[in-house]
Amino acid sequence: AQSVAQPEDQVNVAEGNPLTVKCTYSVSGNPYLFWYVQYPNRGLQFLLKYITGDNLVKGSYGFEAEFNKSQTSFHLKKPSALVSDSALYFCAVRDKDNYGQNFVFGPGTRLSVLP
């Protein structure tokens, strides 16, 4: 069965500092991995995805994520945080080799960027 863990409920970082939001996953086959962001009272917005190829994936708004197969991780990073990055971030996984499987989302990590 697929699962996603986001070990931190909350991440606080000062504006201008680098940020990391952690995600680890478990799938029986090969993973498709995603990050989404949710602003208050809004739907989820796609940030980036890993499907194949380079382990470092670049996405929207200056975010990037690194796929690490040995550690089954897909941590979200940004070199310099902005106050406007404050939101709820979700990691998701889908089993590439099992088409009938749906997406599984992590519980979310709330990022607060302090001015």
Per CB under 8 A, residues contacting other proteins are 32, 34, 36, 41-46, 49, 51, 90, 92, 94, 96, 99-108
Asked if 38 and 98 count as a contact pair (C-beta separation under 8 A), the reply is no
For other proteins, which is the closer residue by CB, 76 or 106?
106
Please give the single-letter amino acid code of residue 91: C
- Strand 24-26 and strand 87-95: pairing? unpaired
Nearer Cβ to other proteins, position 15 or 26? 26
Q: How far is the CB of 23 from other proteins (least distance, A)?
A: 12
Q: CB of residue 16 vs other proteins: minimum separation in angstroms?
A: 28
Nearer to other proteins, 99 or 115 (CB): 99
Query: In terms of CB distance, is 78 or 94 closer to other proteins?
Result: 94
Distance, in Å, from the CA atom of 27 to the CA atom of 20, rounded to the nearest integer, reads: 23
Q: DSSP letter at 70?
A: T
Q: At its nearest, how many Å lie between other proteins and the CB of residue 40?
A: 11
SS3 content of the chain, % helix, strand, coil (to 5): 5, 50, 45
Q: How many helices (H) and strands (E) does the chain have?
A: 0, 12
- Least separation in angstroms between CB 103 and other proteins: 6
